[in-house]
Amino acid sequence: MAKSEAAKTVKRALEVLNFLATAGGPVGVIELSKELDASQSTIYRILSTLAAEGYVAQDPHTDKYALGLQALVPAGAVLNQLEVRKQALSALERLAAETGCNANLAVLYRGAVLYVGRIDGPKSARMYTVLGRLAPAHATGLGKAMLAFLPEPEVEAIIGNGRLKPFTPGTITDPELLRQELERTRARGFALDHEEFVEGIRCVAVPIRGQHGRIEGALSVSGSAYQVRPDAEEALAARLQDVAYEVSGRLGYIA
C-alpha cells in the first residue's frame, strides 16, 4: 500500500473511532458511511480491523458497532499521565464531601470542555457526565472559567462571530453577550452556569493555572438549581478559589 493510501486509511480509522466516541450509542455501517462520506465497503473493512484488535465491538443482535474495551487502555493511560488531574483528584474528593455538590475537573481541548475528573456529591443531582466527554465551552461554567482568562485571539478563535448553539433557553448564543459575560467572570474571578447546558443544573467554576499563569484547566461544583442557589454562589466560589489556588501551586503557579 502506498504511503498516501496508508495515511488515508489511518485517518479514516481515527474518524470512525472519534465518531463512535461521541455517537451516544451503537452505530451501523450505513450510518457511519453517510456521516463520514465513505463507501460502506471501506467502513466495513476498517471496522473489521478495529474489531479484531478490540477497539470496537459489534452487537450480535443489531450488527451495530460501539467502542470496545481496548479503547480504554490508551484512554486510561492518558488520564493517568495528565498532571492537572493527578494534582486535583484529592481536591475533587474534598469539594464533593464539603459542599455536597458534584465536583468536576476539565481541560480545554480543541475549543471544547473535556471532562477529566469527577466526584459525585452525596446530596447532588446525578448528571450524565463521563470522563472523556466533550461539552461546549460557551454553555458551561468550566468552559467560561477558562475562556475568560485566555488571550483574546484564542477566545475569538473559539467563539467566533456567528450564533452559538443553544442547549437550553438559558444558553448564551450571541457572541457579544458571551464576551460581556466573560468580562464579568474576569471581574469576579469565577464563572457561572445558570442552567445553560442542562436545565435544572447550575454550576460555579474557577480556573486552574500552571507555570507563568497559563490556564491548565478548571474546577467546578454543580448541582440542582435549589442546591446551587444565587445566595450560595459566592461561598462556593470562595471555596473553589482556595482549592484551585492549592492545585495551581502544585502545578508551579506563583501568584
| pLDDT 10s digits, 185-198 | 999 999 999 999 99
C-beta of residue 219 within 8 angstroms of C-beta of residue 204: no
CATH number assigned to the domain covering 3-70: 1.10.10.10
| Placement of cell 469527577 in the chain | 118
More confident residue, 39 or 192: 192
- How much of the chain, in percent, has pLDDT values that exceed 90? 58
Check residue 110 and give its pLDDT. 86
What whole-number distance in Å separates Cα of residue 110 and Cα of residue 46? Answer: 25
Residue range 12-28, pLDDT digits in tens: 888 888 888 877 788 89
Domain boundaries, the chain: 3-70, 82-250
Any alpha helices (H) in the chain, and if so which ranges? 3-22, 29-36, 40-52, 72-81, 83-99, 141-147, 152-159, 175-188, 233-250
Grid coordinates in use for 197? 447546558
CA distance 159 to 161: 7
Name the β-bridge partners of 223.
202
Strands 215-224 and 102-109 turn out to be antiparallel
Q: What does the pLDDT look like over 78-134, one tens digit per residue? A: 767 778 999 999 999 999 999 999 999 999 998 999 999 999 887 655 555 566 778
Domain 82-250 coded CATH 3.30.450.40:
yes
